[in-house]
């Protein structure tokens, strides 16, 4: 994982352009503390901050095609790079062991269609010095962040984080996942279309537990690629625990297609965080003991979390309430993981979107509504959980990998008949996952009800945030929120408090426009609120807001209660 910064389409590149790109790139140095690189041509400047995970010795970027001179800067990992090198790219003159170098070979063969051949997480810039042509792209789900904009001279800027270009560009946008943009395009071009995205074309394939097990196991194994020690994030919930348990199967010795031993370490460390006595900490410890990791259960105090809020918002670049609630403990955990020499971790993001794991999915009226909501959630992951996981970890130079969001596994999960995923009376959410991995985890963990990360770290965290916001934001402030913040005006005092902090870091309207808005209950989309009248007057993204499902749901939740009591 790294950062990229690029200034493209210059009519004449001068030293001041290089200086400007270097200044912008330096704002992302936390993403790549191991090395920096920059290449300037007559029409572009491309910079890279490197976090060395694969080919630590010779994989520095930007990379250059030794024959064509094409320049490449990538943030991410290409998991099928070995297979590509053996097949379609057997004749390409590779000069490094970097997994990303395959993109230069694919660009020769396929141009912008190179993304159709990649399995991984990535955001990249390609540039041809001789012609001035350039290409920008982002992985299908948006696991890796990417922003683009134009300055007052109409020049195109690209960066891994919004902060690098928000003060330079008159307009800043999130680069859409699964798209590419070239100097010949008027707008980003969508290159990710799947049959499961529309109800009429959805295959509705039968659920086979052993096939699901195999598909996720293969994804986890591919995600262990690397030349540095890795760790496992275990929240104590089903998703991260399954990933961790599968990873431990392959931890003792990782073998590539040539049967040659890759880097491995005798002890795999796992990590969890929560308030003292939190449900996640206890469950994570049970999982770690069962699968055999060297475990670190970390605690933080409510005051430590509140003290970090402003820094968290600056790094995550959002004012979304649920993202900030969950990002804060993850940010604190990442800082402590980094001190142990871990540079890469596996995490469980994505399962709730693929399998309808959030508690409000219990209220889906039929299979079509259920499936279409999962599609909306998967395609919006880049706005929420992917941004949280990536930026919380990368704030301290740690790469988070998410096996559930492997392109092949997404297809497997999303093509299943949604009837098999639906929860209801006597049937927990994500039942296909629970059944496919029976015996891999303690029974109590396999049957544990969904807890959103911001709830699982300890219910006192959210309740205290609401109480603090009530002290800091007056009723008058909230009533005037629409005039103070015309873009996505906050509807709660907690949201107003976060918005004030965001504005201090990112005062422009362009920056505010990069953050998603809309009502949500327990991480739902706004469309799903139509499912049940009891959801429509609730303004809280916590899973406890689904009182008719959550075993410790709020009592009598409503929009005017900033700090509901637990039932």
Q: Where are the domains of the chain?
A: 2-190, 199-454
8 A C-beta contact, residue 321 and residue 494: yes
Binning pLDDT at 50, 70 and 90, where does residue 536 land?
Answer: confident
- For 479, other C-beta atoms within 10 Å of its C-beta total 9
pLDDT over 90 at 456, yes or no: no
As beta bridge partners, residue 294 has: 269
Closest to 383 (Cα-Cα) out of 190, 516, 495, 506: 516
Q: How confident is the model over 325-329, as a mean pLDDT?
A: 96
pTM: 0.92
Could you tell me which CATH number the domain at 199-454 has?
3.40.50.620
pLDDT over 90 at 88, yes or no: no
| 222 or 537: which leads in pLDDT | 222
| 258 or 316: which leads in pLDDT | 316
Say what the pLDDT of residue 58 is.
56
8 A C-beta contact, residue 122 and residue 144: yes
- For residue range 193-202, list pLDDT tens digits in order: 999 999 999 9
Q: Catalytic residue positions? A: 2
Question: Could you tell me which CATH class the domain 2-190 is placed in?
Answer: alpha beta
Binning pLDDT at 50, 70 and 90, where does residue 262 land?
Answer: very low
Helix (H) or strand (E) holding 79: none
> Sheet containing 2-8: which strands, arranged edge to edge?
35-40, 45-50, 2-8, 156-159, 147-150, 171-174
Closest to 5 (Cα-Cα) out of 42, 36, 51, 41: 36
Q: Which two tokens stand for residue 26?
A: 């330096």
8 A C-beta contact, residue 219 and residue 404: yes
- For residue range 399-434, list pLDDT tens digits in order: 999 999 999 999 999 999 999 999 988 899 999 999
8 A C-beta contact, residue 215 and residue 408: yes
Say what the pLDDT of residue 261 is.
43
Say what the pLDDT of residue 561 is.
34
Q: How confident is the model over 510-529, as a mean pLDDT?
A: 90
| 232 or 518: which leads in pLDDT | 232
Say what the pLDDT of residue 251 is.
83
- For residue range 124-143, list pLDDT tens digits in order: 999 999 999 999 999 999 99
For residue 456, the Cα-to-chain-centroid distance in whole angstroms is 19
Calpha distance 377→523 (Å, rounded): 9
Say what the pLDDT of residue 556 is.
38
As beta bridge partners, residue 159 has: 5, 147
- Which residues lie closer than 8 Å to 305 by C-beta, 6 or more apart? 328, 329, 332, 461
| 323 or 459: which leads in pLDDT | 323
Q: Which two tokens stand for residue 73?
A: 């800067």
Binning pLDDT at 50, 70 and 90, where does residue 549 land?
Answer: low
- For residue range 171-214, list pLDDT tens digits in order: 999 999 999 999 999 999 999 999 999 999 999 999 999 999 99
Q: How confident is the model over 89-106, as a mean pLDDT?
A: 93
- Which residues lie closer than 8 Å to 94 by C-beta, 6 or more apart? 85, 101, 105
Calpha distance 414→444 (Å, rounded): 27
Q: How confident is the model over 291-315, as a mean pLDDT?
A: 96
pLDDT over 50 at 565, yes or no: no
As a whole-number percent, the residues of the chain with pLDDT over 70 amount to 89
């Amino acid at each position: 994982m790294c950062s990229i910064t690029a200034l493209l389409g210059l009519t004449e590149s001068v030293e001041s352009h290089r200086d400007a790109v270097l200044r912008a790139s330096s704002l992302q140095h936390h993403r790549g503390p191991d090395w920096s690189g920059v290449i300037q041509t007559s029409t572009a400047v491309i910079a890279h901050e490197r976090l060395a995970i694969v080919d630590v010795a010779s994989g520095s970027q930007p990379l250059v095609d030794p024959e064509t001179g094409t320049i490449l800067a990538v943030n991410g990992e290409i998991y099928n790079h070995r297979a590509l090198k053996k097949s379609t790219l057997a004749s390409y003159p590779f000069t490094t062991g970097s997994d990303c170098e395959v993109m230069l070979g694919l660009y020769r063969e396929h141009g912008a269609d190179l993304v159709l051949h990649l399995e991984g997480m990535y955001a990249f810039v390609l540039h041809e010095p001789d012609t001035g042509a350039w290409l920008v792209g982002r992985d299908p789900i948006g696991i890796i962040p990417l922003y683009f904009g134009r300055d007052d001279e109409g020049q195109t800027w690209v960066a891994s984080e919004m902060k690098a270009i928000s003060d330079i560009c008159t307009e800043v946008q999130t680069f859409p996942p699964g798209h590419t943009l070239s100097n010949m395009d008027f707008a980003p071009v969508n290159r990710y279309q799947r049959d499961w995205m529309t109800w009429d074309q959805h295959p509705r394939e039968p659920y086979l537990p052993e096939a699901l097990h195999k598909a996720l196991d293969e994804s986890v194994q591919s995600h262990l690629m690397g030349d540095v020690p890795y760790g496992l994030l275990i929240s104590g919930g089903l998703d991260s625990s399954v990933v961790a348990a599968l990873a431990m199967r392959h931890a003792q010795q990782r073998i590539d297609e040539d049967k040659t031993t890759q880097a491995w370490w005798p002890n795999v460390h796992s990590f969890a965080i929560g308030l003292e006595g939190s449900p996640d900490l206890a469950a994570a410890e049970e999982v770690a003991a069962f699968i055999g990791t060297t475990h670190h259960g970390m605690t933080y105090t409510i005051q430590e979390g509140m003290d970090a809020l402003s820094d968290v918002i600056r790094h995550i670049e959002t004012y979304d309430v649920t993202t900030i609630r969950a990002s804060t403990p993850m940010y604190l955990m990442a800082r402590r993981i980094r001190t142990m020499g871990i540079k890469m971790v596996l995490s469980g993001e994505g399962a709730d979107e693929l399998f309808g794991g959030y508690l409000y999915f219990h209220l889906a009226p039929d299979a079509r509504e259920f499936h279409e909501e999962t599609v909306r959630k998967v395609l919006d992951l880049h706005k929420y959980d992917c941004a949280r996981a990536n930026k919380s970890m990368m704030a301290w130079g740690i790469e988070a990998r998410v096996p559930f969001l492997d392109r092949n596994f997404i297809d497997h999960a999303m093509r299943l008949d949604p009837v098999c995923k639906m929860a209801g009376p006597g049937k927990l959410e994500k039942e296909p996952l629970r059944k496919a991995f029976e015996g891999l985890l303690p029974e109590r963990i396999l049957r544990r009800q969904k807890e959103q990360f911001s709830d699982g770290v300890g219910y006192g965290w959210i309740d205290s945030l609401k109480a603090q916001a009530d002290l800091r934001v007056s009723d008058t402030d909230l009533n005037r929120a629409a005039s103070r913040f015309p873009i996505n005006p906050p509807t709660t005092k907690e949201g107003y408090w976060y918005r004030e902090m965001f504005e201090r870091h990112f005062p422009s309207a362009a920056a505010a426009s990069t953050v998603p808005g809309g009502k949500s209950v327990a991480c739902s989309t706004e469309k799903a609120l139509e499912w049940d009248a009891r959801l429509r007057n609730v303004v809280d993204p916590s899973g406890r807001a689904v009182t008719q499902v959550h075993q410790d749901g709020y009592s009598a939740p409503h929009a005017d209660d900033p700090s509901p009591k637990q039932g």
